[in-house]
Amino acid sequence: MPAEAADVKQQGGPDVSGLVHEVTAKELRHALNQHGQADEATRHPGQRPLTIHDLKLIPAVINEPTEIKVQLHGKNKSSIVYSKIFDNSKIQYVERILETS
């Protein structure tokens, strides 16, 4: 979406115009295995374990975010954090961007 790409660019992020979001089975497994454990709040204070219900909300989070933040991680690497506030929670979806020439 042009507004999303402009927001990312304005925050110093990469040019993401023309790119699409893709969530693979491997990434879903990673999310559940790394962030769906009962001790999530201990490992990452302020977070609760990720659920299947949360994963089903990914389209709403990336298509209608409350906030988009760019995190720069060095040369040609950055993350875009999409956040959406729902009635009783805030869901974040982190997308890693690897820039190539």
**pLDDT, tens digit, for every residue of 85-99?**
998 889 999 998 877
DSSP bridge pairs for 95? 80
In the prediction, which pLDDT does 40 show? 78
In the prediction, which pLDDT does 101 show? 56
Structure token digits, residue 39: 């001790």
**pLDDT, tens digit, for every residue of 20-74?**
888 899 988 988 888 888 887 788 788 888 889 999 999 999 999 999 999 988 7
Q: What is the DSSP string of 10-79?
A: HTT----TT------HHHHHHHHHHH-STTHHHHSTT-----HHHHHTHHHHHHS-SEEEEEE-STTEEE
Residue 89 DSSP one-character state: -
Q: Rounded to two decimals, what is the model's pTM?
A: 0.84
